[in-house]
Amino acid sequence: MKLRSKLFLTYLLLSFLGLSIAGVLIFSSERKRSLSQLEKSMLSQTQLLSNIFAFPLVGNLDITRMDSLADELGQKIEGRITIIDRDGRVVADSYQSGENLLRMDNHKNRPEVASALQDETGKSIRFSYTIKADMLYLASPISMEGKIIGVARVALPLTELKHHRNMIICIVFVGLLVAFVFSLLLSFGFSNTVSKPLRQMMQIGKQMSQGNFTQRIRVKSKDEIKELGEILNQMSDELSQKITQITEDKSQLHSILSSMIEGVLAVDHQGRVLLVNHALSRMFELNTSFYGKLHYEIIRDYDLNQFIREVLSTKQEKRQEISFIHPKEKDFMIQSAVVGQRRKGAIFALFVFHEITELKKLEKVRKDFVANVSHELRTPLTSIKGFVEALQDGAISDPEQSSRFLSIISQHTDRMNKIISDLLQLSQIESKEFELKVEPFPVKELVEEVVYTLKRSADEKSQCMEINLHSSDQKVLGDKYRINQALTNLVDNAIRYTPEKANIKIESRDKGHFVEVAVIDNGIGIPQDDLPRIFERFYTVDKGRSRELGGTGLGLSIVKHIIEAHEGKVYVESEPGKGSKFSFTLKKA
């Protein structure tokens, strides 16, 4: 039931009760007033009858004459007059005469008669079997010289009084009906006046619940409802500001979390997931239906879940390195932060996932690099030290042996010098200060210079170097000196690892915006398992053969860095026993 209906019915019921009570009081008061006036009139009549019938009762008692007088007076007052002596015998009655009068009962015990014989005014209302109607009886004593000699009684039927009462009832009813209709209209108007602004508040409240805070409550009255409307308007403004602020804060937080490269996981005190940022979703390939689930349901890893349990139970910030194998093999440093909110839906702990997979790889590369450098330098140094000690022990006096030892020492010294030179060159290329002198130059000129430089080495192995260029006037953009280094390393490797009397081809092809330069040999080739790592520092397929042929394991790494510095790419294709093809791309001039 709506408030307006409740107010209307409440006011209507109150009005009905009030008017009903007023009607009852008015009817009761008017009835008492009418009865009191009737009693006063009858009292005057009985007193007058007492004076009239006093002397006949004292003198010779002429019942017939007294009865005639009672009949005459009864007709005038339109009532019943009864004269009773002090013994209770009826001596005159306006309703009875003759034999009937003589047979009337003794009235001494009638209430009103008994009171009158006690020198009091007696009255009584009762049903009269004589005239078959309710009668009002009022009796007054008849006195003579201070003695009560009889009773004069007047009885009036209450029919007139009832008629008067019914008239009063009709008047009161009509008045109450008019008042009720007026109160009905007043109640409807009042309830509508009260409920209308409340309905308006309710409608605006619904709009506020949907996020619309532009509507305002307008109340014309100057009462509590207007104050309530003003309070709601003020609350709407404050809510709008706070929601705007919360939305902005949430948007900023979402932007921060989305832009973070670290993964973020937030859980409540029960370990239920409340937040997962995009980075963590990408790291573990999570779907979006994670909210409210337990942490071990979305990332199934024993070490991680044990770590989260420890943080939740101890309420202490912890840090731990954890390795994952699913969905990919990755390493993370996980840092926890305890917020401590224990209420439902509140963040209790945060876990930040720092991926250190690349760092671990770089650390491994660094360790391998140090180990490789140490190994590559220690080997020639050990040989040099051994031959120096041999010379010191007397071999220097033998010219032939000393000359051979010094030649070996020189070879190892050259190898150490080449290793250090390649390391310095690689370090220079990787440094931030490394700059390229980019200019256009012909591919033909580059290839011819490299072939000319290495022709002697190829001739020593009776190898044939074949040049096959796409265009004789094709130019590329780059640092010619560095590109010359890269191509020299590739051709030199082809000469070293290709058997005698083999063919080495140097080709160029058009690749749209790029030119591809390739070095192709039919040498020993490279196993497929070694191809992904062939450009790593110090990585060699056969370390013994590499040292024997004077390789340092740094040449291909230098090639890769030089070409990538030119925004090009390096490719390798090889098959053991059939040869290899190394190629790289450069931008066209």
CATH number at residue 490: 3.30.565.10
Residues 149 and 283 in one domain: no
Least confident interval from 49-53, 192-196, 459-463: 192-196
Tell me, yes or no, whether 192 lies in a domain. no
* C-alpha–C-alpha distance, residues 92 and 376, integer Å: 164
Residues 241 and 265 in one domain: no
- Mean pLDDT (the chain) is 82
Q: Cα–chain-centroid distance for residue 508?
A: 63
The percent of residues above 90 in pLDDT, for the chain, comes to: 21
User: For residue 521, what pLDDT is reported?
Assistant: 93
* C-alpha–C-alpha distance, residues 38 and 138, integer Å: 10
Tell me, yes or no, whether 188 lies in a domain. no
Residue 7 or residue 298, greater confidence? 298
Q: Which pLDDT band holds residue 372 (cuts at 50, 70, 90)?
A: low
* C-alpha–C-alpha distance, residues 340 and 328, integer Å: 33
Residues 495 and 533 in one domain: yes
Q: Cα–chain-centroid distance for residue 16?
A: 50
> Strand, coil or helix: what is 156?
strand
Q: How many CA atoms lie within 13 A of 533 on its CB side?
A: 10
* C-alpha–C-alpha distance, residues 300 and 579, integer Å: 47
Least confident interval from 1-10, 305-314, 337-346, 514-523: 1-10
For the beta carbon of residue 555, count every other beta carbon within 10 angstroms: 23
Question: Both tokens of residue 461?
Answer: 């192995």
* C-alpha–C-alpha distance, residues 52 and 66, integer Å: 10
Q: Is the pTM of this model over 0.75?
A: no
At residue 543, does pLDDT exceed 70? no
Tell me, yes or no, whether 232 lies in a domain. yes
Residue that the structure tokens 């209302």 belong to? 125
Residue range 568-576: average pLDDT?
Answer: 93
Question: Both tokens of residue 244?
Answer: 């705007």
User: For residue 55, what pLDDT is reported?
Assistant: 81
Taking every pair of Cα atoms in the chain, the longest distance, rounded to a whole number of angstroms, is 205
* C-alpha–C-alpha distance, residues 178 and 510, integer Å: 109
**Alpha-helix runs per DSSP H in 302-442:** 302-314, 357-392, 399-430
User: For residue 514, what pLDDT is reported?
Assistant: 93
* C-alpha–C-alpha distance, residues 454 and 468, integer Å: 17
Least confident interval from 108-112, 234-238, 281-285: 234-238
User: For residue 4, what pLDDT is reported?
Assistant: 59
Provide the strand spans (E) within 79-162. 80-85, 90-93, 122-128, 133-144, 147-157
Question: Both tokens of residue 161?
Answer: 């009084």
Tell me the per-residue pLDDT of 117-153, one tens digit each, with 9 for 90 and over: 888 888 888 887 766 778 888 999 988 888 888 999 9
Contact 264, 253 (CB under 8 A): no
**DSSP β-bridge partners for residue 349:** 267, 338
Residues 412 and 546 in one domain: no
Backbone angles phi, psi at 29, to 5 degrees: -65, -45
Least confident interval from 75-89, 247-261, 575-589: 247-261
Contact 307, 334 (CB under 8 A): yes
Residues 441 and 391 in one domain: no
User: For residue 550, what pLDDT is reported?
Assistant: 47
Residues 384 and 527 in one domain: no
* C-alpha–C-alpha distance, residues 497 and 579, integer Å: 9
* C-alpha–C-alpha distance, residues 530 and 549, integer Å: 19
Give me Rg for the CA atoms of the chain: 65
Residue range 502-520: average pLDDT?
Answer: 93
Contact 418, 567 (CB under 8 A): no
CA angle (253 as vertex; 251, 256 as ends), nearest 5: 110
Residue range 407-434: average pLDDT?
Answer: 75
Residue 191 or residue 124, greater confidence? 124
**Contacts for 514 with CB less than 8 Å, ≥ 6 apart:** 568, 585, 586, 587, 588
Q: Which of 439, 484, 478, 472 is nearest to 568 (CA)?
A: 478
Tell me, yes or no, whether 381 lies in a domain. yes
H/E element holding 577?
Answer: none
* C-alpha–C-alpha distance, residues 130 and 126, integer Å: 12
Least confident interval from 444-448, 482-486, 537-541: 537-541
User: For residue 248, what pLDDT is reported?
Assistant: 84
At residue 548, does pLDDT exceed 60? no
Q: Which pLDDT band holds residue 3 (cuts at 50, 70, 90)?
A: low
Residue 378 or residue 313, greater confidence? 313
User: For residue 8, what pLDDT is reported?
Assistant: 64
Residue range 37-61: average pLDDT?
Answer: 82
Annotate 60-99 with b (16+ C-beta within 10 A) or e (fewer): eeebeebbebbbebbeebebbbbbbbbebbbbbbbbbbee
Residues 9 and 58 in one domain: yes
Residue range 98-108: average pLDDT?
Answer: 84
Last residue of a domain, one of 399, 428, 457: 428
User: For residue 465, what pLDDT is reported?
Assistant: 92
Residue 139's domain is classified under what CATH number? 3.30.450.20
User: For residue 542, what pLDDT is reported?
Assistant: 58
User: For residue 574, what pLDDT is reported?
Assistant: 92
At residue 35, does pLDDT exceed 50? yes
User: For residue 546, what pLDDT is reported?
Assistant: 46
Residues 270 and 328 in one domain: yes
Residue range 202-231: average pLDDT?
Answer: 74
Backbone angles phi, psi at 540, to 5 degrees: -135, 145
Residues 85 and 119 in one domain: yes
Tell me, yes or no, whether 190 lies in a domain. no
User: For residue 160, what pLDDT is reported?
Assistant: 67
Tell me, yes or no, whether 199 lies in a domain. no
Tell me, yes or no, whether 329 lies in a domain. yes
The percent of residues above 70 in pLDDT, for the chain, comes to: 90
User: For residue 558, what pLDDT is reported?
Assistant: 86
Beginning with the edge strand found earlier in the chain, give each strand of the sheet holding 503-511 in spatial order: 464-468, 503-511, 514-521, 579-587, 570-575
User: For residue 475, what pLDDT is reported?
Assistant: 92
Last residue of a domain, one of 355, 382, 416: 355
Residue 320 or residue 550, greater confidence? 320
Residues 479 and 576 in one domain: yes
Question: Both tokens of residue 432?
Answer: 């931030």
Domain total in the chain: 5
Highest mean pLDDT among 116-125, 249-258, 385-394, 474-483: 474-483
Residue 428 backbone zone (phi > 0: left; psi -120 to 50: alpha; other: beta): alpha
Alpha-carbon distance values, 389 to 40, 118, 375, 377, 385 (Å):
163, 169, 21, 18, 6
Contact 322, 360 (CB under 8 A): no
User: For residue 549, what pLDDT is reported?
Assistant: 45
At residue 375, does pLDDT exceed 80? no
Backbone angles phi, psi at 406, to 5 degrees: -65, -35
User: For residue 11, what pLDDT is reported?
Assistant: 66
Highest mean pLDDT among 23-37, 213-227, 334-348, 530-544: 334-348
Residues 86 and 97 in one domain: yes
Residues 412 and 501 in one domain: no
Q: Which pLDDT band holds residue 545 (cuts at 50, 70, 90)?
A: very low
Angle between helix 63-77 and 3-58 (nearest 10) = 150
Tell me, yes or no, whether 203 lies in a domain. no
Last residue of a domain, one of 379, 397, 428: 428
Give residue 408's domain range.
361-428
* C-alpha–C-alpha distance, residues 315 and 338, integer Å: 6
Q: Is 551 exposed, middle or buried (0-12, 13-18, 19+ CB in 10 A)?
A: buried
Number of H helices, E strands in the chain: 15, 17
Residue 566 backbone zone (phi > 0: left; psi -120 to 50: alpha; other: beta): alpha
